[in-house]
Structure 1
């Protein structure tokens, strides 16, 4: 199929993009990398009169270390995120999630802002952003605002972004000390969306106890999920005393609505999810203990 007719706009500045979005209202849609939106347009699952391509706006690309955080412009491609030594050092979980995203052609075009704004519950970057308590920066004709990741994802493919807002950047905290990070997921084929997956970050204190941890879940709800109850059960516990399988089961226990489709029932997804959390926990724990 081919998309319905639309007018194409290619602004060269953020101010111009904001003005175009305000002018055309809910008949317009911003285009980041296009790796999710373009197929939806081609299948006519989405129809817009105007597309505003953000790809020629240089201020939306790049990264910057700011003390205890690192900020990535929303237009930074997956490939740039995955190849950055600075990202690998500052936010290892983000770097390690990148190879799971589609194929290299998709990673060369897709952007971190596009992936997060698309809000697919089976996608990697939204789960990482939620787990690590990232902050999402936006701009609109009313000015700028910052949205915590916990408040950003409102449903499948829906977010707290207003119709006239553009996601401009994502800021992640930098974890220090004895920390470990891992991502595990099960997909039918490499590059497919995950049936279920988990991201884990943990940090040990001087006594070898879990000082803090973050567990993000993908493919297990209508939005990315954070296993806060499971996190609470292990925080303050000696890492040697933590049962990884128990962490996985605790992460699944409080999920409200696990999807079921041709790829698997809700019960199957729960079992897979528990296994993915356990695997990711073991890998992250080993890294925190041994570097």
Structure 2
């Protein structure tokens, strides 16, 4: 098997895990999303710490945590924690369809942020794709009587996270480890407060340790977070960026399928009008990306 083929299947595996991860968070519906986020942070730190220890790269982690990029990493940590919380909350509260919409429109948000932040040029095809996505969002706003805030939050925070990561020199594993390390004191504080009954919380209200099922699921969040990221990093070094971009649509597609066919969330008339516009926008964007990659090659 060639390196490119290995990278392709690693990318597919990462997107399948991300796309089906809603099932995992739905299984933790009895645990408040903020507590799930705290455990995801801590167990991710354990997972990534073990990986860096095996690679002998703790020096790189120390440099990231105490070097010139600390402030940027702290900001990116805040942004990705908001994104993680938003996804967990949306799945637990019956908004997984809208969450999938957020990850569909993320590439278009990323293009817009690139224009605004870096002055990147937008092609006609990209402008058309963004226009179609904007029409879909406007349509949902009118039909539902509210803006699709969850989708916009997830797309916006993930796009901003990518923008911040462009300014970080550390590699993906080191930088994510630094981010969860910076978030860890807050995660520990929340869990301690629930355990000891601090700040008005009921003593012993934490989920971890109360039953084997919840404890095992919370501990597994580190693997669920770190595993696909390592697969993605492996794939990104072996697969063309245009291919990576196309395969990534597998993630929101599976999220959407899980929301409708597993969770039984309603697919309304508004969604039936808006989603085809989003899919058309992504089709245009994908054609433009493939043409650009072909010219560059």
The verdict on a shared fold, with TM-score over 0.5 as the criterion, is no
Q: Which has the higher contact order (CA 8 A, sep 6+)?
A: 2
Structure having the larger proportion of residues in helix: 2
The structure where strand makes up a greater share of residues is 1
Instruction: Tell me the TM-score normalised to structure 1 length.
Output: 0.28
Compute the TM-score of the two structures, normalised by the length of structure 2: 0.28
